[in-house]
Amino acid sequence: MHTTYKRSWAEPYKIKMVELLKMTTRPHRLKAIREAGFNTFLLRSEDVYIDLLTDSGTSAMSDRQWAGLLLGDEAYAGSRNFYRLEKTIQDCYGYRYVIPTHQGRGAENILSKILIKPGDIIPGNMYFTTTRLHQELAGGAFVDIIIDEAHDPLNEHPFKGNVDLNKLDQVIKTHGAAKIPYVAIATNVNMAGGQPISMANLRELRALTQKHGIRIIHDMTRVAENAWFIHEREPGYANKSIRSIVHEICSYTDGATMSAKKDALVNIGGFLAVNDWEVFEEARNLVVVYEGLHTYGGLAGRDMEAMAIGIEESLDNNHIRARVGQVEYLGHMMENYGIPIVKPIGGHGIFVDAKRFLPHLSQDEYPAQTLAAEIYLDSGVRTMERGVVSAGRKPNGENYYPKLELVRFTLPRRVYTQAHMDVIAESAAAVFARRNRIKGLKMVYEPKYLRFFQARFERL
Ligand SMILES: *Cc1c(COP(=O)(O)O)cnc(C)c1O
C-alpha cells in the first residue's frame, strides 16, 4: 500500500539562547490593566506573558546579526557600516540613493517636508498612522484609493492591498496632477490586515502615474511579506525567488521609506531611499536637522551593520515561508474556534474583527480597545487596538470612524514557537465563549497626536 505523508514546514533556525517568560495571575493582570487605563500600550512589558503588541522592533536577531554588532565602526562620519548598508539596499532593492534614519517615521518626516506643499493631495492604498500624520503636518491631505474590498473583513480578495485605478483617476481629474506630489503605496498594507498589492496592479499604477508625471513612493516596511504572497498567488511568480520579486516591486517606484524594525529584522533603524538626485540632495541636507549626519541618521554603526545583515536574511525564501506560515497557523486555529478574523490571513498578524466579536458594543464604546484589554486579562497575551481609537481625529476635530474595528495579534519574527500559537488561540477562544458578558469602555484621557499610544479608559 502506498501512503503519502504530509510535509510540514518548520522554523528554519534552532534556539541558542532563551529569554524566560513571566507567568502572572488574573488578580495581578486586573491591577495592571487598570493602572494602564485599559490601554495595552501602557502596560509594563514585565506584566506581559506573550507580547503580540507589535512586530515592530521585536524580532529576534540571528547569531550573524549579533556578531555584526561587534563590527560596529562608530565613526561620526563615513562609517564602514553605512557603506555596507548602502550597498545592500542598492543591491537588494535597487534604489540609488540611501539616507539612514532612526526608524520609519524619521524617513517619513524628511520625505513629507521635501515633497509636500500646503494644499497638496496624497493618494494612497489605505492610511498608516505616522505616515498620514507627517503628510498632514506638511500641509497635505491623504486620500484613500485602495480597492473597496480592503475595507470588508469578510472579502477574500487575494490582493486587498491593490489600488483602485478609477479612484486614482478621479482624484487626478478633481485636483489635477500638479497638486499630487506622489502616490503613496504600501506593500503588505498594515492597516488592511497585512494584505498584499499585486505586481499586475503595480504595473498598471506605474503606467497611469507616468502618464501624469506623478511619482510613486513606496512604504516598503513589509515588502518581503508582500513578495511571498505574490510568489504564492500571482501567476508567473511561483518559480521566482523572493529576492527577485522584491527587486521587481521596487523597480516600479521612485523612492521608499522603510521601517527596518519590521521586515529587516532589527530592533531599531530605518531609511529613506530615492532615485532622484535632487530629492536626495535635499534629504541629505534635512537629515542633519532631524536625525544626524547622512552617514548615520540617528543610528550607531553597529545598528547599520545588523540592518544590512537583516535585509539579506529577510529575503530568504525559507525565512519568509516560515514567517507567514506561523501567522497562518495561528489564524487557522482561531477560525476553528469560530473567532471572526480578517480574511485572507495576512502576513504579520491575525486581525480579529471586534465588531463581529462584540456586536453588542457601538463604536463609541471602543469594541477593539475593550477586546484587547479582555484578552490580556484572560491570559497575559498583549494585543493592540486598530479601530476608532487608532484612527484618531480629522484636522477639523471630528472623529474618524473607520469601517474596520480590529484587534491585532501581531507576531514578532523568529520569537515565539508553535506551542505559543496554541496558547494564544485558546485564550481568544476563552474570551469568545463569554463575549456576551463583556462591557465597553469610555475614554477618560485623550492626547492630541496618535492618541492610541497614550489614551486612557475606564470600564462602562
Ligand atoms: C511601523 C510602520 C511605519 C513607521 O515606522 P516606525 O519605524 O515605527 O517609525 C510606517 N509604515 C508602516 C506601514 C509601518 O508598519
Taking the CA of residue 186 as reference, the ligand 1 atom at the shortest distance is: 13
Instruction: Determine which one of 22, 34, 76, 211 is catalytic.
Output: 76
3-state secondary structure of 38: coil
State how far the Cα of 413 lies from the Cα of 337, in Å rounded to an integer: 25
Nearest Cα residue to 265 out of 11, 85, 59: 59
- Residues 24-41 have pLDDT tens digits of 999 999 999 999 999 999
pLDDT for 314 equals: 98
Domains, in order of start, for the chain: 26-55+317-459 (3.90.1150.10), 64-314 (3.40.640.10)
State how far the Cα of 250 lies from the Cα of 349, in Å rounded to an integer: 24
List, as one string, the DSSP characters of 229-256: HHHHHSTT-TTS-HHHHHHHHHHTSSEE
State how far the Cα of 313 lies from the Cα of 320, in Å rounded to an integer: 9
| Count of CA atoms in the C-beta half-sphere (13 A) of 395 | 11
Query: In this structure, which residue's CA is closest to atom 6 in ligand 1?
Result: 104
Look up residue 171 and give its amino acid.
Answer: V
- Decide the pairing of beta strands 406-410 and 349-353: antiparallel
- Give yes or no for residue 133 having a pLDDT over 70: yes
Instruction: Determine which one of 120, 219, 254, 353 is catalytic.
Output: 219
Instruction: Determine which one of 84, 262, 302, 413 is catalytic.
Output: 262
- Give yes or no for residue 285 having a pLDDT over 90: yes
What distance in angstroms lies between residue 192's CA and the mean position of ligand 1's atoms? 14
pLDDT for 1 equals: 56
414 included as an active-site residue = no
- Whether the CB-CB separation of 192 and 127 falls below 8 Å is answered with no
Beta bridge partners of 185: 218
pLDDT for 9 equals: 84
State how far the Cα of 112 lies from the Cα of 118, in Å rounded to an integer: 11
Query: In this structure, which residue's CA is closest to atom 4 in ligand 1?
Result: 104
- Residues 257-279 have pLDDT tens digits of 999 999 999 999 999 999 999 99
Nearest Cα residue to 248 out of 200, 319, 213: 200
Under the banding of pLDDT at 50, 70 and 90, the label for residue 245 is very high
- Give yes or no for residue 4 having a pLDDT over 80: no
Ligand 1 pocket by Cβ (under 6 Å): 56, 103-105, 128, 130-131, 186, 190, 219, 221, 259, 261-262, 270
What distance in angstroms lies between residue 259's CA and the mean position of ligand 1's atoms? 5
pLDDT for 2 equals: 66
By percentage, how much of the chain surpasses pLDDT 90? Answer: 92
H or E stretch including 426? helix 418-433
Burial class (CB in 10 A: 0-12, 13-18, 19+), 115: buried
- Give yes or no for residue 98 having a pLDDT over 60: yes
What distance in angstroms lies between residue 315's CA and the mean position of ligand 1's atoms? 19
State how far the Cα of 396 lies from the Cα of 70, in Å rounded to an integer: 50
- Give yes or no for residue 101 having a pLDDT over 70: yes
Lowest mean pLDDT among 154-163, 345-354, 375-384, 393-402: 393-402
- Give yes or no for residue 65 having a pLDDT over 70: yes
pLDDT for 39 equals: 97
The mean per-residue pLDDT over the stretch 99-108 comes to: 98
List, as one string, the DSSP characters of 46-77: GG-SEE-S-SSS-PPPPHHHHHHHTT----SS
The mean per-residue pLDDT over the stretch 388-414 comes to: 91
